[in-house]
Amino acid sequence: MKRESAGDRIFQIINTVVMITICCIMLYPIIFVAGRSLMSDVERAARPLALFPEKISMLAYSFIFMRGSYVGSAYFVTISRTIAGSACSLAVTTLAAYVLSRKEYPLRNAFTVMIVFTMWFNGGMIPNFLLVQSLNLNNKFLVYILPQLVSAWNLLIMRNFFSSIPETLFESAKIDGANDLQIYARIVMPLSGAAIATIGLFYAVWQWNAWFDSLMYVSDRSLWTMQLFLREIIRNVQSIDLLDQSSSIGALPPAESVQMATIVVATLPILCLYPFLQKFFVKGVMVGSLKG
């Protein structure tokens, strides 16, 4: 075994110090947010740079979770739309990508151009609202899934990935008597695990963070998503002083603590899930890229 030289050791030390510094820089905002979400407003005001509370205060969390039963339903809606929306989007995206990746399909280029066209131009907010209204999707759970079912960008990435699968696999499957659906299910899908995980994660993160469709199309608060609900809490707390001051009664929690607690509540589930999906992300870095 080769002995480490002095230079190697110095490199290792500097490398370790630099990496620890980067870790601290990454962790600082997370600890700052979590710590200050647990501080009382008096302590926060007295110790503006403190990371950890001297005494834990759950006032901000109780403010968020005591808002009736909506937090529970909002979480349920968000989780449901993330699972159902991602699954439906993945199913349709992979099916469409498979069709568009097949060279023998005569309209693949025409459809691809039409799909790409939607990346450059879209109808805008009012036509979208009218479309959703005419489809009678307002105040329905389906409004979270159908209007954004397929992302043109994700579809193109998936199409490129499928195109890179060797043609000989398709030919041998056909010789064995497989039809297109069987090839899709038994050949293409098993070979595309990394791509599906990556695109699925794109869809899931988008679904998890989405709030604007909830704001525009859903007035029934029991169907609101968690992100919209938390956003509303932050907006309310920020503007309390300027609103209807004469009739607001009772002490209110500090805005900053509520903001911090909201960030924790909104990001914690996806943060917990991320390490398990990270390996797919690493594998999926090259998804859709062209190989020489």
Partner 1 sequence: MKNLLARLLSFLVIASILAGCSKEGGGAASPADSSSGTAAADEAANGPFIYYCRTNAGRESAPDNPQVLAYIQEQTGIQMEINAIAQDSFKEKIDLMLASNEAFDGMNLIGYADSYSELAEKKAIIPINELIEKHGPAVNGVMAPGLYSSTDKDGQIWALPRAERFPEGYVPTIREDWLEALGLSMPRTIEELEAYFDAVLANDPNGNGDSGDEIAYLPNMLLYGISNFIPYFLPVKDGNLSSTGFSNLNNLRVLRYMADDGSIRSVFTHPDFINILAKFREWYEKGYMPKDIHLLKTAQLTDIRTSGVAGSLGGWFSDGNTPIINWNEANPDKAPGYYAPIPPLENAPGRSMWPSNPTYAPQIVFMRTGKNHAAMMRYFDWICQSSQNTATVQYGIEGVHWNWSDEGKSAITLSETAVQNYLEYYSLANLWWKGLMPEVLVSSDNKAEYMRTKQMEEIRAYEMNYPFDAHIPYNYKNTDAEFLTADGATLLEEAIIKIIIGESRLEDWPAAVATYNSIEGDILSQVWTEQYNDFVS
* Chain contacts with partner 1 (rule: CB under 8 A): 40-42, 44-46, 48, 66-70, 106-107, 110, 114, 125-126, 129-131, 133-134, 215-216, 219, 221, 228-229, 231-233, 235-236, 238-252, 254-256, 259
Toward partner 1, which CB reaches closer, 80 or 238? Answer: 238
Residue 7, classified by CB atoms within 10 Å of its CB into exposed (0-12), middle (13-18) or buried (19+), is exposed
Amino acid residing at 270: I
R_g of the chain computed on alpha carbons: 25
Toward partner 1, which CB reaches closer, 25 or 126? Answer: 126
Toward partner 1, which CB reaches closer, 107 or 185? Answer: 107
Least spacing, CB of residue 180 vs partner 1, in Å: 18
Q: Residue 68: which of 263, 241, 190, 233 has the closest Cα?
A: 233
Match 């060279």 to its residue by tokens.
103
Least spacing, CB of residue 114 vs partner 1, in Å: 7
Least spacing, CB of residue 122 vs partner 1, in Å: 13
Toward partner 1, which CB reaches closer, 15 or 133? Answer: 133
Separation of alpha carbons 110 and 90, rounded Å: 22
Toward partner 1, which CB reaches closer, 66 or 272? Answer: 66
Least spacing, CB of residue 229 vs partner 1, in Å: 8
Contact between residue 145 and residue 132 where contact means Cβ atoms under 8 Å apart: no
Least spacing, CB of residue 70 vs partner 1, in Å: 5
Amino acid residing at 20: I
Toward partner 1, which CB reaches closer, 250 or 292? Answer: 250
Contact between residue 164 and residue 246 where contact means Cβ atoms under 8 Å apart: no
Toward partner 1, which CB reaches closer, 133 or 172? Answer: 133
Separation of alpha carbons 280 and 255, rounded Å: 38
Least spacing, CB of residue 274 vs partner 1, in Å: 28
Least spacing, CB of residue 44 vs partner 1, in Å: 7
Least spacing, CB of residue 241 vs partner 1, in Å: 6
Toward partner 1, which CB reaches closer, 61 or 229? Answer: 229
Separation of alpha carbons 226 and 214, rounded Å: 10
